[in-house]
Structure 1
Amino acid sequence: MNVNKRDGREAVGQRAPRSGGRTAAQYTTRAGRQEETRARGAREFPTQGSAALRPAEKVAATTAGTPRLRVAPPPPVRVPQAPFAALIVVLVVGGVLGILAVNTKINENAFKLQQLQQQQAGLDVDEQQLNKQIELAQEPGNLTAEALKLGLVKADEPAYIRLPDGRMIGVPQPANGQPAITSQQGNGG
């Protein structure tokens, strides 16, 4: 069913009335003459100059033979879509690749960090073992044993030099003890 034929009218440019109203062609002026079809049934207040109203009869006489002028909508703005779409695709792909590169570098650095932490833990254990060895070697009994092993002998009475004036206190004498049997000198070495 054609929209224009549902009221019994034929398609001559007339529209069906809105919500039970009259069509634009059915409006008449006060003088009894029909005005031209108004755009979508809108009220019209003709003006002469900027704001003065003219009588309806003069409006009908002046506009009867001329077509009505209407304000045309602005032309649609055509933005090139290809460069914009390409820019968006480049930004998205660049962002994804950037995030991928950052994540890869973070994971690589995490592996290096784990390796360095394991190396640090090993070095800490080595340091503790060396500190224990130093403490054991510094004990008085071990120092004496190591000195005897190297062939050192115990001196009787040491002599001292007083530093302010350089005077010697005591008489220096060489040690005359026998080297230990386990020393390198006692083995003929």
Structure 2
Amino acid sequence: MSALWAPVAPGQLGTGELETGERRTGADRRTGRLRAVRTPAGRLPRAPFLLVLIGVFGLGMAGLLMLNTTLQNQAFASRTLDRQATELAYTQADLENQIDVVSAVPELARRASELGMRANPYPALLVVPSGKVIGPAAPVEGDELKSLIVYTPAEIAANKAEAKAKAAAKAAAKKAKAKADAIEAKAKALQAAKKAKVEAAKAKAAAAAKAKAEAAAKKKVATAKKAATNDKTTSTKKKATTSTAAGHG
């Protein structure tokens, strides 16, 4: 140990304490005697303090980074959930609109018509749960109240197709009938022409027969006239001969 001596004036330390922390006695205060002080304690090395400070700073930065990352992830998740909530709200509104449309009276009438149900102008009431029927139950044909029938697009298309098919069938039948009439008229014309040809042939044959008969009659008449002329000539000759014979006699 090294001893350091320094004069200390009375009252210099204020409370009478030395730098070493010892309390001075009354005699020392009076005489102003010097005493040896202890060697001051050595300072702590700076490297561990810096390492601890760097570690604390690194841990703080890592914690801050993790906190920032966690907050960003939570913000992304929150935005995603908000977007999903908005989409679900729109989906819910769309479904509610669809429910309103489906539950509307015209839509119910259309669905009933699609299922083959028709309005009954003579309804009967069924009492539940007894099952008693009030009023006369009468079946319907389906066309009693045509104004209340709501046709679906498929039924409208089917009705149009059926009407088109009927019109096409009617036009085809009309065309076939016209063709049959034309064929029949042609057959009748051919038959009439054939009949006319036969009649013309008959008329020609009759005319030829008539001409032949007339020619035969004319020939017969001519023959008769010739025979008569011959007879007359013979008679004249006979008379002449008789007269001549009488004159000679």
- TM class by shorter chain equals 0.5 to 0.7
Larger helix fraction of residues:
2
Question: How far is 1:100 from its partner?
Answer: 0.7
User: Is 1:137–2:102 an aligned residue pair?
Assistant: yes
User: Is 1:114–2:79 an aligned residue pair?
Assistant: yes
What count of residue pairs does the alignment treat as equivalent? 131
Question: How far is 1:93 from its partner?
Answer: 0.4
1:84 corresponds to which of 49, 53, 60: 49
State the distance in 2 between where 1:98 and 1:79 align: 29
1:158 corresponds to which of 124, 127, 150: 124
Q: CA RMSD in A?
A: 3.8
Question: How far is 1:133 from its partner?
Answer: 2.0
Question: Which consecutive residues of structure 2, in runs of 5 or more, have no partner in the other structure?
Answer: 11-24, 144-148, 159-249
TM-score (norm. length: structure 2): 0.42
Question: How far is 1:178 from its partner?
Answer: 1.8
Post-superposition CA distance 1:114-143 (Å, at most 9, x none): 122122212212221221221122222221
Question: How far is 1:173 from its partner?
Answer: 3.7
Give % identity.
23
Query: Quick check: 2:110–2:151 contact (8 Å CA) kept in 1?
Result: no
Post-superposition CA distance 1:82-126 (Å, at most 9, x none): 333222211110110110111012112212221221222122122
State the distance in 1 between where 2:51 and 2:138 align: 96
Question: Which consecutive residues of structure 1, in runs of 5 or more, have no partner in the other structure?
Answer: 1-37, 44-49, 57-67
The verdict on how the C-alpha distance between 1:185 and 1:152 changes in structure 2, with shifts beyond 3 A counting, is farther
Question: How far is 1:162 from its partner?
Answer: 4.5
State the distance in 1 between where 2:42 and 2:128 align: 105
Secondary structure class of the residue paired with 1:176: coil
Q: Which amino acid aligns with 2:134?
A: G
Query: Quick check: 1:161–1:168 contact (8 Å CA) kept in 2?
Result: yes
State the distance in 2 between where 1:167 and 1:150 align: 24
Query: Quick check: 1:150–1:185 contact (8 Å CA) kept in 2?
Result: no
2:7 corresponds to which of 36, 40, 46: 40
Match in the other structure for 1:127: 92
The verdict on how the C-alpha distance between 1:138 and 1:39 changes in structure 2, with shifts beyond 3 A counting, is closer
State the distance in 1 between where 2:55 and 2:8 align: 51
